[in-house]
Amino acid sequence: MTASIAERAREGDVLVLNAESLLANKRAEERRAWLKGFIARAWPRAVLAPIVLFSDEVPTGSARLARIHAAELPETTILTRFLSAH
């Protein structure tokens, strides 16, 4: 997965979707190691990987890490916004 992300990041910014589905097949130690390496890596462009299910395994203390807590999220979902627009 890292090689694929790196290849795409050479071409432009990257949004990594469903990383957690791949990480779910790994042991906790492997997930933590991948997450640590992902955050520490010097990507050539912006790379964003939303992590929810394994957020407790994400290393803390990096300026490159943004944590968004549930209380900071809007009360409505994007789906309800689309539905209310019509």
Read off the pLDDT of residues 13-65 as tens digits, 9 standing for 90 and up: 999 999 999 999 999 999 999 999 999 999 999 999 999 899 999 998 888 88
Q: Do 5 and 16 meet the contact criterion of CB atoms below 8 Å apart?
A: yes
The domain limits of the chain are 2-84
- Provide the 3-class DSSP secondary structure of residue 42: coil
Are 58 and 31 contacting, i.e. CB atoms less than 8 angstroms apart?
no
- Note the pLDDT of residue 77: 73
User: Is the model's pTM score more than 0.75?
Assistant: yes
- Look at residue 10 and tell me whether its pLDDT is greater than 60: yes
Can you give the pLDDT at residue 11?
Answer: 96
